[in-house]
Amino acid sequence: MFLFRGSFATILYLSREDHSHLTILNGGQPDGRTYSVFEFNEKLVPIMNSIFDDILVNQCKTILYYKLSENAAFRAYIDHARNLQTIRLKEASPDEKLALFINIYNMMTIHTTYLQGPPRSIWDRRKLMNCTYYLIDDHKYAPHSILDGILRSNRKGLEMLWKPFGKKDARLSLILPYCEPLIHFALNNGTRSTHSSELREIACDAFEADKHVRVDMCRKKLYLSKLFQWYAMDFGCTTTKIIEWILWVMEGSDTEKRKNIVMLYRSGHYEVDYIPYDWSFNGKMKE
C-alpha cells in the first residue's frame, strides 16, 4: 500500500508537480480550530486505528475498501483531514513531522484508491502519485512530494529527473533534516510520535517475513526487496552497506534468519538478488 514509479503522461510524471491537473482530496471547511502537529496526530491516530481494525484483514495484507462507505471512523477522518489546511506545520519537531507525514501518506493512499479505484497500469500509478493532493498548511502535497520531498529529505524519486522541491519552493524549509530509510517499511501503523526505535521495530518485523529479505544458505544467496535496489541511496548505496543496515535493524533479533545473514556477510562469499516487486492490487473494492 505504502510505496512506486511518455507522451503527455511522461511529461506530467517528469515535471516537479503540475498543480493544474491535481485533484484536491481534503477540500471543504476546517472545524475552525488551528491544530499543532502533535494535537492533530493525537486526534488522528485513534481514528486511523478504528479504520484499520475494520478494513485490514489477512494479517494486514488485504484492504477491504468497500467497507469504507459505511465506516464512521472514515467519515471522521475525512472531516479531520480538512484541518490539515491550517495545521501549524512550521513549529513542529522533526519527529512530529515524521509521524504526521507517514500517517497522512498512508491514509492519502487509501483515500485516493477508495475514490478513484485501484491503479490498473503504470500510468494510473503515476497519476496517483502526482495528480492528487492534500492541502497542508496552505501548500499542496501530492503523495510523491510527501514521500520524496518531506520523508526522504528532498531526494529524487523513481525515474524522476529533479528533486521534488526546487530552491525557491516554500516547502523546502519543512523537509526532514535527513532521509530516514526506515520509513519505507512503516506501513499501516498509526503513531503519535514516530521515533526511530519504533520504526526500527516495524522494519525488523518486516524483515523476519520473506517479503523483504530471504536467505538461501545452500546457494549462499540473499534475496532482497526491490525497494533496496530502487532506493539504494537511502540505505547506503552499496550492497555491503545495505546488508549492514539490515543487520543493524535486526540487531535485537536472535532468529535463525539473522544468524544466517551474519554468516554469509562475514564469509564474504555470497550473492545478492532482488525479489520481483508484486504490483498486484492488495485490496477489494466490492464484497
Q: For the residues of 99-114, what is the DSSP string, one character each?
A: HHHHHHHHHHHHHHHH
Co-location of 142 and 208 in the same domain = no
Do the domain assignments include residue 1?
A: no
Do the domain assignments include residue 281?
A: no
Find the mean pLDDT for residues 248-277: 93
In the predicted structure, residue 77 carries a pLDDT above the cut 80:
yes
Q: Residue 229 has what pLDDT? A: 94
Contacts of 154 (CB under 8 A, 6+ apart): 148, 163, 164, 165, 172, 175
In the predicted structure, residue 126 carries a pLDDT above the cut 70:
yes
Find the mean pLDDT for residues 178-182: 91
In the predicted structure, residue 58 carries a pLDDT above the cut 90:
no
Calpha distance 135→151 (Å, rounded): 17
Calpha distance 60→48 (Å, rounded): 14
Q: Which residues form the domain of 254?
A: 200-275
Model pTM? 0.85
Co-location of 134 and 259 in the same domain = no
Calpha distance 136→155 (Å, rounded): 20
Co-location of 179 and 216 in the same domain = no
Co-location of 19 and 155 in the same domain = yes
Contacts of 233 (CB under 8 A, 6+ apart): 155, 179
In the predicted structure, residue 159 carries a pLDDT above the cut 90:
no
If one counts the domains in the chain, the total is: 2
Buried-exposed string 47-62: b where 16+ CB fall within 10 A, e elsewhere: bbebbbebbbeeeeee
CA angle 5, 10, 162 (to 5 degrees): 65
In the predicted structure, residue 55 carries a pLDDT above the cut 50:
yes
In the predicted structure, residue 262 carries a pLDDT above the cut 80:
yes
End of a domain among 141, 170, 194? 194
